[in-house]
Amino acid sequence: MMRARGVLGRFRHPTQVVTTGFGAAVLLGTVLLSTPLATASGKPAGWITALFTATSAVCVTGLTVVDTAAHWSAFGEVVIAVLIQVGGLGIMTLATVFTLLISRRLSLRARLSAQAETKALSASDLRRLVAKVVLFSLASEAVTAAVLTLRFVTGYAEPVGHAAYLGVFHAVSAFNNAGFALWPDNLIRFVGDPWICLTVAAAVIVGGLGFPVLFELRRSWRRPSRWSLLTRVTLAVTAVLLAGGTLIFLATEWSNPRTLGQLDGPGKLLAAFFTAVMPRTAGFNSLDLAHMYPSSWLVTDLLMFVGGGSAGTAGGIKITTVGLLAFIVWTEMRGESRVNIGHRRLPEAAQRQAVSLTVLGVGLVAFSTYILLVLTPHGLDRVLFEVVSAFGTAGLSTGITASIPPPGHLLLIALMFVGRIGPLTLGSALALKERTRRYELPEEGMIVG
């Protein structure tokens, strides 16, 4: 007991435990995927391949350097699915569940650690929150798996056992916004199947909204007037991004013979909607992204960078961040001194966090893009797409992931890890302690712009 306390004592901030937990999961996954049992050929996978795949799974990204179905054995695929589940629920959420089952008690440090992962507003409600997170996640995945399994059996004559395996794997991958698929073309073969595409899209949207929003909607979905700012901003920005992305992809790719051009009207609408949903950091694709126009790549870059909701399975800088930035800009344009959303005033701390997170994200993407441009012969549009996909834990690719040299793979691994943990969370985890300034300096104005 004293030794355990000594180890925990080395971490002075709960987010350090979160970061260490994700790192440990990646390390364990790398070891398991490096064994001969994990590959279809029976030969050990290279350590970079195993590390890249484990990081992509734990960080629920979906980028791959090998064909998932062809390279990994059934054991390897199960390891990937488990890593996705662990990454989606969060290391500290799982640790809290195990602690409750074993001791029925939670230490203050464990409460704070899990609170940092789940973004809970109060540590006193942590037990009930964690139970809801786990039960809701498993229930959503079970429903998704059931629908997919039924479709694989009735529509594609898959044996029940294999259909269930496919259904469970892709349900876990979809709800956790991972994007791993067990077909070489991802989901392109199902581009015209609304049962598959809409089911996967629904799981991605639900998983990407964020648990606080989902729980609030469950409690008071009939009373929008009682919704919190988090729920209102999340739903509003989500609707705008989904509708806007669908319309843009329809307009841009309508006559492209290698994407939407080969489909009929309803098929184009379905494929455009599915393509607009996936940059929420899911990583599935029903169209060949390598044949999309560069203008569509740019729109996808923006959607991947934004990502999904806070405290959900999606990555990116979060749609709430973008929503807050929009209100900040609107306030400045109107010349007001306080940022108000509806009948509530936005705290200055939230404004600073939104700006800081965006600036850090842009800086990381710009720096990483420059490094990959130096390391690879690929153009700016493809490299930027790959970098934003890794940072936003989206998992979409124009097909250059496998051709990137090992140093570039290591860079993408770091981006996926930082994108999952979050730049601010990672920064606070590395800090030895929080510093509070005990004095105020004289104020001096400065010209901006």
Is residue 333 assigned to a domain?
A: yes
Is residue 434 assigned to a domain?
A: no
3-class SS of residue 422: coil
Is residue 351 assigned to a domain?
A: yes
Is residue 332 assigned to a domain?
A: yes
Cα–Cα dist 165/144, whole Å: 12
Is residue 445 assigned to a domain?
A: no
Cα–Cα dist 178/55, whole Å: 11
Query: How many independent structural domains does the chain possess?
Result: 1
Cα–Cα dist 63/401, whole Å: 7
Cα–Cα dist 217/231, whole Å: 8
Residues in contact with 323: Cβ distance below 8 Å, sequence separation at least 6, in sequence order:
233, 234, 236, 237
Cα–Cα dist 390/416, whole Å: 5
- What is the per-residue pLDDT for 119? 56
- What is the per-residue pLDDT for 146? 98
Is residue 447 assigned to a domain?
A: no
Per DSSP, 346 falls in state: P
> Which domain range does residue 359 map to?
12-428
Mean pLDDT by 10 residues, the chain (449 residues): 44 66 93 96 94 96 93 96 91 55 53 58 63 88 97 96 97 94 95 97 92 83 82 92 96 95 95 95 93 96 92 83 90 84 79 86 96 96 96 94 95 93 62 63 77
Copy the structure tokens of residue 166.
């496919």
- What is the per-residue pLDDT for 38? 96
Cα–Cα dist 204/360, whole Å: 26
